[in-house]
Chains A and B, each alone.
Chain A
Amino acid sequence: MQRRTFLTLAAWLVGTTSLTRATVIHNRVPWAPHPNSAPEMVRPGPWQFFTLDEARAMEAIVDRIIPPDPETPGGKIAGCAVFIDRQLKGPYGSNQGHYTLGPHTKGTQEQGPQSALTHAELYRNALAALDKHCKSTQAGKSFAELEAAAQDDVLRKLESGEVKFETVDAKGFFSALLKDVPEGFFADPIHGGNIDMVGWKMIGFPGIRYDYRDWVNRHNERYPHPPVSIAGRADWTPAKS
């Protein structure tokens, strides 16, 4: 192997979080107690990626992308900002698994994103730019300090491309929000969002339930059972007698 190849490979190996090992399988299917890859569960606690200012802005943003209504909380109470915080701190934030080698050349839209920025960098830069933009156009107020209508107005301008940031693609940032915020609202609560399964309850999605044999032939009848998360549901814990 050439030295250059070795170096590229070594860099790739270091960048791989799951400690994979080559194994030889012979005579029996490998098995060991416990799952090979049980999920990590997000715990409540301080922000891990966002600064306090960023977090304030994000909580305001997620509550405009998914506003509260009388039946269902908005993005903030649902934990969408926490979800994005933990995602950006983790492999998603660092674009782990993506092809990151250069050159980074802008192509057509159908050739897919080519930015050298990671998701974490995109949020960091865009939130700074958003803050600067708001303060300069809204009498020194940050995004979180604006009225809901004014917040919506700023977001609409990001969406349409009317507002541009100097350092980062504002429209690209808004696209990321449109992907990441609903993910936080609908992903399993173990990832930090969809707290109390509010997103699932809103639409009637039963979560990780894995057996609808008793229901497949009950046509046009609403499925009655509450959702279940990987972390369970309240009914799993015996009530105190």
Chain B
Amino acid sequence: MQDFSSVERGRYLATAADCGSCHTIPGSDHPLSGGRPIETPFGVLVAPNITPDRETGIGAWSDDEFDAAVRKGVRRDGKRLYPAMPFPYFARMTQEDVKDIRAYLSTIEPVHNPVAVNQLPFPLNQRMAMTVWDTLYFTPGEFREQPDKSKQWNRGAYLVEGPGHCGACHTPKTALGGDMPDKRLQGYTLQGWAAPDITSGQGPLADWSADDLAQYLKTGHNRFAAAAGLMGEVVELSTSKVSDDDAKAMATYLKGQSGPKPAADSAAESHVMAAGGAIYQDLCSACHKSDGSGVPNLIPDLAHAATVSTGDPTTVLRVILQGAQSVATDQEPTGPAMPAFGWQLNDAQVAAVATYVRNHWGKAPPVSEDEAKKERAQLDARTN
């Protein structure tokens, strides 16, 4: 007999874990049937079909086999999963929670969709290598509450470190793609976007309150920033759908994470700042205002938007060059977009305005013309 409360809990957890982001092709009418290419530093992986189709999905799997894949990174055939599947995070989930997710997945429409998942080049296509990787970077074991912390903090910790797998994007990785344990949540660049430092020490989120963070997770917007790109997708598919209490819990936990001082800035040259300032006043002030403060919940405040002042300029360059649409959510349906300026500004000008917005209000390192040029070339080569 189906346990409806179990299915409902599973649906909620699958949302919190953002399964759909990787396992559904955007815009597809067949959720979770796989086929979406996932960019990793080593090549492209394709997410498998996790609908209950017995042949091409996971319909024939036992609950234990499912649990082993989600929490241990071990496939039904005993081979090891690549960590594009964030099993090192999902390992923190309780067995009960994973069972609920399975219960939910058993209720969705089975889709016959064979997916060739492994498209990595040799030797990375040798899953044997993953055994070594696991030894280095994978720590099994469920999340354990810290009794000296509040219930809210512990709930947040579970969600962030477990199903939410925030560190999968926000934690710096080693050359082999494993998390650097001493740099948790301090920012990383992947799939053409710089995920900023989301610790709350002295980094870009220092001025954000827990409420700011919770509002950002729920609506994609707050008085400082707007989520776009990969984070926009995370908000749309996952965090906007968690409960207010859970969003607040995640925010509370993140606000409690200490982080490093941002790298000491090397001051930008004055002639670059002058050019950047001219471009800013002529093109950017119409939305971001002459003092950079923007419009709450509509236009980011450049002094406080984490992606602007984060060390790696990838996101700010990308957004200047090709524009970006922020996420639309039920509470904030507007989804305002930043226009592209790559057609209008040359590399030196892009670098100058990027340098200006990162330095005039913040202290992020200057951006070179060469970096702008490289980012432009990379974007031209991108298909998404």
A residues with a Cβ closer than 8 A to B are: 28-29, 31, 33-35, 38, 208-211, 213-214, 228, 230-233, 235-241
- From the candidates B275, B289, B290, B337, name the one contacting A236 in the complex (CB within 8 A): B275
Which residues of B, 240-284, contact A by the 8 Å Cβ criterion? 269, 271-272, 274-276, 278-279, 281-283
Q: Which residues of A contact B290 (CB under 8 A)?
A: 211, 213-214
B residues with a Cβ closer than 8 A to A are: 269, 271-272, 274-276, 278-279, 281-283, 285-286, 289-290, 322-325, 328, 335, 337, 339-340, 342-346, 348-349, 352, 379
Residue of B nearest to A31 (CB): B325
A-B contacts, 30 of them at CB < 8 A, read A28-B335, A29-B328, A31-B325, A31-B337, A33-B323, A33-B379, A34-B322, A34-B343, A35-B323, A35-B340, A35-B343, A38-B344, A210-B283, A210-B286, A214-B290, A228-B282, A231-B344, A232-B279, A232-B282, A233-B282, A236-B275, A236-B349, A237-B349, A238-B271, A238-B272, A238-B274, A238-B275, A238-B349, A239-B275, A241-B271
Q: Which residues of A contact B323 (CB under 8 A)?
A: 33-35
Given contacts A34-B340, A235-B275, A239-B275, contact A211 B286 (CB under 8 A): yes
Complex alpha-carbon distance, A38 and B276, angstroms: 22
Centre residue among B269, B272, B283 by max chain A CB count within 10 A: B283
The reply to whether B322 and A230 form a contact with Cβ atoms under 8 Å apart is: no
The reply to whether A237 and B275 form a contact with Cβ atoms under 8 Å apart is: yes
Residue of B nearest to A209 (CB): B282
Give the distance to chain A from B314, nearest Cβ to Cβ, in Å: 15
Given contacts A29-B328, A241-B269, contact A236 B282 (CB under 8 A): yes
Complex alpha-carbon distance, A211 and B335, angstroms: 22
Q: Which residues of A contact B352 (CB under 8 A)?
A: 236-238
Residue of A nearest to B322 (CB): A33
Complex alpha-carbon distance, A232 and B278, angstroms: 10
Residue of B nearest to A230 (CB): B344
Number of A-B contacts (CB under 8 A): 77
Give the distance to chain B from A214, nearest Cβ to Cβ, in Å: 6
Residue of A nearest to B324 (CB): A33
Complex alpha-carbon distance, A208 and B276, angstroms: 17
Q: Which residues of A contact B349 (CB under 8 A)?
A: 232, 236-238
Besides A29-B325, A35-B323, A230-B344, 11 other A-B contacts (C-beta < 8 A): A35-B343, A209-B282, A211-B289, A232-B279, A232-B349, A233-B282, A235-B274, A236-B278, A238-B271, A238-B276, A238-B349
Complex alpha-carbon distance, A208 and B275, angstroms: 17
Q: Which residues of A contact B339 (CB under 8 A)?
A: 35
Centre residue among A210, A236, A240 by max chain B CB count within 10 A: A236
Q: Which residues of B contact A233 (CB under 8 A)?
A: 278, 282
The reply to whether B285 and A211 form a contact with Cβ atoms under 8 Å apart is: yes
Residue of B nearest to A26 (CB): B27
Residue of A nearest to B369 (CB): A238
Give the distance to chain B from A225, nearest Cβ to Cβ, in Å: 8
Residue of B nearest to A231 (CB): B344
Give the distance to chain B from A149, nearest Cβ to Cβ, in Å: 43
Q: Which residues of B contact A241 (CB under 8 A)?
A: 269, 271
Complex alpha-carbon distance, A54 and B324, angstroms: 47
Centre residue among B271, B282, B290, B337 by max chain A CB count within 10 A: B282
Complex alpha-carbon distance, A196 and B283, angstroms: 19
Complex alpha-carbon distance, A239 and B340, angstroms: 24
Q: Which residues of A contact B345 (CB under 8 A)?
A: 232, 236
Complex alpha-carbon distance, A240 and B272, angstroms: 9
Complex alpha-carbon distance, A233 and B274, angstroms: 13
- From the candidates B269, B272, B328, B342, name the one contacting A34 in the complex (CB within 8 A): B342
Give the distance to chain B from A188, nearest Cβ to Cβ, in Å: 12
Residue of A nearest to B339 (CB): A35
Give the distance to chain A from B365, nearest Cβ to Cβ, in Å: 16
Complex alpha-carbon distance, A108 and B190, angstroms: 67
The reply to whether A236 and B279 form a contact with Cβ atoms under 8 Å apart is: yes
Q: Which residues of A contact B340 (CB under 8 A)?
A: 33-35
The reply to whether B278 and A235 form a contact with Cβ atoms under 8 Å apart is: yes
Complex alpha-carbon distance, A33 and B324, angstroms: 7
Complex alpha-carbon distance, A240 and B340, angstroms: 26
Complex alpha-carbon distance, A214 and B291, angstroms: 11
Q: Which residues of B contact A31 (CB under 8 A)?
A: 325, 335, 337
The reply to whether A238 and B348 form a contact with Cβ atoms under 8 Å apart is: yes
Q: Which residues of A contact B272 (CB under 8 A)?
A: 238
Complex alpha-carbon distance, A5 and B341, angstroms: 42
The reply to whether B271 and A239 form a contact with Cβ atoms under 8 Å apart is: yes
Complex alpha-carbon distance, A24 and B276, angstroms: 40
Residue of A nearest to B334 (CB): A29
Give the distance to chain B from A176, nearest Cβ to Cβ, in Å: 31
Q: Which residues of B contact A236 (CB under 8 A)?
A: 275, 278-279, 282, 345, 349, 352
Residue of B nearest to A225 (CB): B281
Q: Which residues of A contact B289 (CB under 8 A)?
A: 211, 213
Complex alpha-carbon distance, A42 and B353, angstroms: 25
Complex alpha-carbon distance, A209 and B290, angstroms: 12
Complex alpha-carbon distance, A233 and B269, angstroms: 20
Centre residue among A209, A228, A233, A238 by max chain B CB count within 10 A: A238
